[in-house]
Structure 1
Amino acid sequence: MGDVFTVSNTSLGKAILDAASRYSVPTILGGLAEKILPHLLNPTRLTDLAQLTGLSESALRKTLTTLMERGAVKREGWHYRLADDETLQRLAQLLKEKNLLKKVEPNASILYTNSFIIKAVPKGEKALGELTAFSRFPQYGVQFLTDRDYYVYPPTKIGPEKVLVHALLSSKSSYERSMCALFFLVNRTRIDIFEARKTAKHTPALGLLLDLENYVAGLPVSKPELFLPWNEFSDLCAVYGVKVEPAPSAVEIISNIEGWARKLKESVTAYLLGGVNMVLRQIKSSTKDIDLLVENSREYELIAEALQASGYEKAVEWSPGDRDAGPSNIFIHPTMLRVDLFTSKVGGIPVSDTVKARASSGMSLGKLRLMLFSLDDVAYMKLLTTRERDVSDAAEIIRRHGINWETFREEVEKIPPDILKRKAFVILENLDVLRMSYGLRIPRKLYSWLRRMAIDSGIKEFWKRGVDNASIIARDMGVHPSYVRRKLAELRRKRQV
């Protein structure tokens, strides 16, 4: 005799009956399925499922395979999620609420739940998990008065990126979200915005974080009502000793460049590869920095001398995203726009001759000749980096201008193999943001190609470090152990040859 299920006359009972009209009850509620379903309302990695449920990955994989065969679960890349079925999703939501009661204290308020839980308790009261969100702000130089303590469950290592994302998920007012923006500004050189986006992935915080990146720069955001008006934010920042300025107009940007270009001793050709390029093409209303690329060290020295003669200094503190983008130097000025000066490479990747050939003439300002990279190539270069605002700029280009994905792939294929293996992860994550937050379609073949390259690169890095346990690597990479074993066998054969 098969499993027997007794269904009560409750909301949960009714949801089970509704789901039973499409799925076998033993399949969706029997064995481990009942523990798994509530965690699949949003895409979740196998490693996260194991941590959340306390189940082994082999047991999870077996149950997930059965659920996929029955059409209840789908797999997308490294993530599993429920099928697009309202009855099944309603059942999973009710099961989730039932299970949460076991992990949430009587006095706690649940602020967010999915692969982790954010909750608040009266200040000073202990709770399961780790302190996070606004409770950690003082640790990072931002005093925030609150009568609650914020916790994340299950316990996890907390850095400034998670503090920021958890605070955004906890925020209930424009003031609190603006405090998150202030927290970002105070900790700008230590927060890895790319890691923050990865933490925010599959949560409502991702869209907020992308808006926050533009908000702190005085640039337009998609939902301005979620933050304080700019003048109020400026006053708030002043209380903490942080100065913010609104983004300049296009006329002010050109005047700024013209000011230091007068100091050039010789003629120089430079390429505009970022926000100024977009402003001149009327894709973007303003920008907070000037990204310039020159082809050789002589041209770099000429511009560097002109900048320093105009009162610019080399920046001492760089953010993680700045270091990843890899300009030869960053020049800052008390009242003028920051200049990121690149020499022949962006993100450590040589700019190809075809990219330069596609550039068009922009304008001449005295001895400075400015060339405009094509918008396809601007988007390509922005998707190579982990800097703040670059992925939102790429999205704006694609939405308003479009992009030739064939050209994009051709340029990616020119990247030196040792660099491409590292950059594949970055490009993939940025493409995920374009897809999830901006609703942009990414060609499946391109995405699959990059994903396979990233996985193979990750396996090889583990192997180089002496890790050859397929289960450990598979858990970290979010792939099936059999694939890892096959790639490890290939690496061993190559070493023997």
Structure 2
Amino acid sequence: MNSKILKELLINGRIDSGSLKKLKVSSYTYQKSIKDLLWLGVVVEGKSKMSVSLLDGQVSALLKRMFFDGFNVELLTKENIEWLSSLTDPKTTVELAGETSLSNAQTSHKLNKFAQFLSKQGNKYVLAKLNSSLFDFLLLVKNRSIQEFVWKNGEERLQSLPLDFPTDGILTGFSRFTEFGLMINPAFKQVYFPRKELSIEDVLSHAIKFSKNANDLMLCILFYLKNKAKFDVGKIEKNCEKLGVMGAWLDIIAYLEDQPVKHPGFFLLKEEFMQKARVYGIETSPRYGQKLIQAIFNEASKKASERIRVYFIGGNALIEHKAKNSTKDVDVVLASEKQSSILINALKKNGFAEVAERELQYNQLETSSMLQKKGFPRMDIFTKKICNALKFSKRMQERSKKMTDGRIELYLTSLEDIFLLKSVSSRDSDLVDCETILQKTVLNWKIMLDEIIAQEKNLKGIQELAILHHLETLEKRMNIKIPITKKISSICLEKAMLYLAKKPISIREIRQKIDFSETSIRNQIKKLEKEKKIRKAGKKPFKVVIA
């Protein structure tokens, strides 16, 4: 902040735009300094936007002491204060870079710039206590931020405020539920910073982060069900991962799927939840068991014009594997367009019809056909390829086991292949189903790795990242190590680098696109350079491009 502006404020207790000429500072400098002071909470705005008055408090008292002790307050920008306050506890360069969202190089530059205020403990840096006023000031700002903000990451903040409290953030979480059709009256105002347009996925994931009890999560579930057709599940998962509530999101889906949840205390009994849902006029998806599903195919077999093979690949397959008791839809794949057409015609003769309007997450599946009939599970029919990603290969077909004979021969896909196919899917329940599979059996990971490698050409762009994300999420949630994760990570990083380097791209830009560490990216660049697959272009900061 500007020293002239601060001095005027500390001496007179207030400052306004009339001070600009007197102090010989630009309008930009004045506004930036006032913005930093407002962020610190040491001033309050007057009637004019350009006027502020000094507030009494610990922060302003320490700021005043530092100024009159001769401290260079020009260093106390919002960015520097946040960065220095993160060093009240010892941190390595890598830890500091991760917490502050700066690159390793930018972090090293900052450490050199502020070296006079730091001390070193082994390979860790920490704020020195020689300047007690600075240390107390930064510790106070840090502790205040921890109390005020539910979550923060770089410039992003989530905050819960009294309803009448003024803010320059944008409403989110429960404060936006009514806007999307779920009429509630929250006791607090929930806000996101910085101000920007928020998606419905942002609103939901923020609400999950704000949730403190079973009633809060119940409202999140109802909001999800009310607007389910609009949601992109991949975006919800990405947001929840960033916010540290991926476990809560997966518990929500497990709860809806009648699967065990990790934290049952945060969920209402199902009967109580159903009563609440009816009050809000929300219907939950009905679920169906083995007998009805088998009856559907028995009847369809009577109407099939030729003998065909139908492979069970979804929740219906997990029922046959005794990993689930029920499902809301039936997923099958057939090896040719002709066979799919025969199955679709047979089902239509029995009253099934094409789904008129698909939910976003189901539209992303890119099925050959999606059929429905009142009182029956929805039928998702794939031909040759699942989710426009993996082919139902000859190897997968050979690993499947025959269940029934007749005009429609039913085959049960192996658990390894079901797990893999669900790993590239965009539906909410697929990750929870993968967890259920891991709880029920020991998988042959080599089969899956060999299948992924064999089908690399079918995985468009960087679709392997979806598989990697699911594996890493399951490792964290179940506290296990999946033996192929490291290899998949290596495949993903190399393919992602080659995909992104079709045009010149910097390391910083790469990090914004894919969630890999700077060190991993730099190592991959060296490897690909050595293999002459990419080359560096331009001066520092250099970019990489396909060789």
TM range (shorter): 0.7 to 0.9
The residue aligned with 1:340 is: 380
Partner residue of 2:354?
A: 314
Computed over aligned residues only, the root mean square deviation of the Cα atoms, in angstroms, reads 3.8
Offset at residue 169 of structure 1 (A): 1.6
- Which of 23, 36, 49 is 2:100 aligned to? 49
Alignment correspondent of 1:241? 281
Task: Report matched runs for 1:99-114 at 5 Å.
Answer: 99-103=141-145, 110-112=149-151
Letter in 2 for 1:479: E
Q: Deviations over 1:212-249 (max 9, x none)?
A: 12333455434444222323333333344332245333
Say which of 394, 397, 404 aligns to 1:353.
394
For residues 261 and 237 of structure 1, do their structure 2 counterparts lie closer, same or farther at Cα, with a shift above 3 Å needed?
farther
The aligned residue for residue 13 of structure 1 is: none
1:254 maps to 294
The aligned residue for residue 534 of structure 2 is: 491
CA displacement at 1:153 relative to structure 2: 4.0
> Which amino acid in 1 is paired with 2:250?
L
Find the counterpart in structure 2 of residue 58 from structure 1: 105
Equivalent of 1:438 in 458, 478, 481: 478
Question: Is 1:300 the counterpart of 2:334 in the alignment?
Answer: no
Aligned equivalent of 1:414: 454
Summarize deviations over 1:195-214 as a string: whole Å, max 9, x none.
Answer: 21122126552122112123
Where 2:202 maps in the other structure, the secondary structure is helix
Which of 448, 451, 456 is matched with 2:494 structurally?
A: 456
Query: How do 1:53-452 and structure 2 match up within 5 A?
Result: 58-60=105-107, 70=122, 98-103=140-145, 110-112=149-151, 117-127=157-167, 129-153=169-193, 158-201=198-241, 203=243, 205-348=245-388, 349-364=390-405, 367-417=407-457, 419=459, 421-443=461-483, 446-452=484-490
Q: Give me the whole-angstrom Cα distance separating, in 1, the residues matched to 2:376 and 2:138.
A: 52
Residue 325 of structure 1 aligns to a residue in which SS? coil
Question: Aligned with 2:237: secondary structure?
Answer: helix
Describe the shift of the 1:496–1:59 C-alpha distance in structure 2 as closer, same or farther (beyond 3 A).
closer
Please tell me the residue identity of whatever aligns with 2:313. Answer: L
3-state SS, counterpart of residue 292 of structure 1: strand
Q: In the alignment, what sits opposite 2:26?
A: none
Alignment check: 8 A CA contact 1:218 1:246 kept: no
Amino acid at match of 1:393: D
User: Which residue does 2:506 correspond to in 1?
Assistant: 469
Distance in 1 of aligned mates of 2:356 and 2:246: 29
User: Looking at both structures, which has the greater relative contact order when contacts are Cα pairs under 8 Å and sequence separation is at least 6?
Assistant: 1
| Structure whose CA Rg is larger | 2
- Provide the rounded CA distance (Å) in 2 between the counterparts of 1:190 and 1:432: 26
Preserved contact between residue 335 and residue 392 of structure 2 (Cα < 8 Å): no
Q: Match for residue 3 of structure 2?
A: none
SS in 1 for 2:206: helix
Q: Cα deviations across residues 68-92 of structure 1 (Å, max 9, x unaligned)?
A: 995669xxxxxxxxxxxxxxxxxxx
- Is residue 435–residue 474 contact of structure 2 (8 Å, CA) maintained in 1? yes
What does residue 23 of structure 2 align with? none
Q: 1:172 is paired with a residue of what secondary structure?
A: coil
CA contact (8 A) 1:38 1:95 kept: no
TM-score of the superposition, structure 1-length normalised?
Answer: 0.76
Q: Which deviations, in whole Å up to 9, do the C-alpha atoms of 1:119-158 show, x marking residues without a partner? A: 2112242335432111122332222211311013455652
CA contact (8 A) 1:174 1:226 kept: yes
Identity of aligned residues (%): 21
Q: Judging changes above 3 Å, is the alpha-carbon distance between structure 1 residues 181 and 474 closer, same or farther for their aligned structure 2 residues?
A: closer
In the aligned structure 1, how far is the partner of 2:168 from the partner of 2:91? 22
Q: 1:280 Cα deviation (Å)?
A: 1.4
Which residue does the alignment assign to 1:479? 518
Count the aligned residue pairs: 436
Q: Deviations over 1:156-206 (max 9, x none)?
A: 652122211111121223222111111112222221212211221265521
- Distance in 2 of aligned mates of 1:242 and 1:479: 46
Stretch moving more, 477-486 or 428-437: 477-486
Please report how far the alpha carbon of residue 339 of structure 1 lies from its aligned counterpart in structure 2 after TM superposition.
1.0
2:30 alignment counterpart: none
Distance 1:482 1:357, change over 3 A: closer
Distance in 2, matches of 1:36 and 1:358, equals 55
Unaligned 5+ runs, structure 2: 1-81, 113-117, 126-135, 537-543
| Structure 1 residue 97: Cα displacement | 8.1
- 1:100/1:68 CA distance change after superposition, 3 Å: closer
Q: Aligned partners of 1:326, 1:228: CA distance in 2, in Å?
A: 35
Query: Are the structure 2 counterparts of residues 146 and 495 from structure 1 closer, same or farther at C-alpha, using a change threshold of 3 Å?
Result: closer
The superposition leaves residues 275-318 of structure 1 with CA deviations (integer Å, 9 ceiling, x where unpaired) of 11111121112211111011111111111112222322222433
What is residue 21 of structure 1 aligned with on the other side? none
CA offset digits 1:431-486 (Å, max 9, x no partner)? 1111111223122xx3233223333333334333x443344334544424745765
- TM-score w.r.t. structure 2 length? 0.69
SS in 2 for 1:123: coil
| Larger mean Cα displacement after TM superposition, 454-463 or 169-178 | 454-463
Structure 1: gaps spanning 5 or more residues: 1-30, 74-93
For 1:40 and 1:129, locate their aligned partners in 2 and report how far apart those are by CA, in whole Å.
30
Q: CA deviation at 1:114?
A: 6.5
State the alpha-carbon separation in 2 of the partners of residues 182 and 39 from structure 1: 43
Q: Distance in 2 between matches of 1:460 and 1:242?
A: 46
Q: Distance in 2 between matches of 1:350 and 1:248?
A: 27
Q: Is the 8 A contact 1:269 1:294 kept in 2?
A: yes
Between stretches 246-255 and 203-212, larger displacement belongs to: 246-255
Distance of aligned partners of 1:101 and 1:329 in 2 relative to their CA distance in 1, 3 Å threshold? same
1:36 deviates by 5.4
3-state secondary structure, aligned to 1:266: coil
Q: Rate the CA distance shift 1:69–1:387 in 2: closer, same or farther, 3 A.
A: farther
Q: Is the 8 A contact 1:219 1:247 kept in 2?
A: no
Q: CA 1:70/1:295 → structure 2, altered by over 3 Å: closer, same or farther?
A: farther
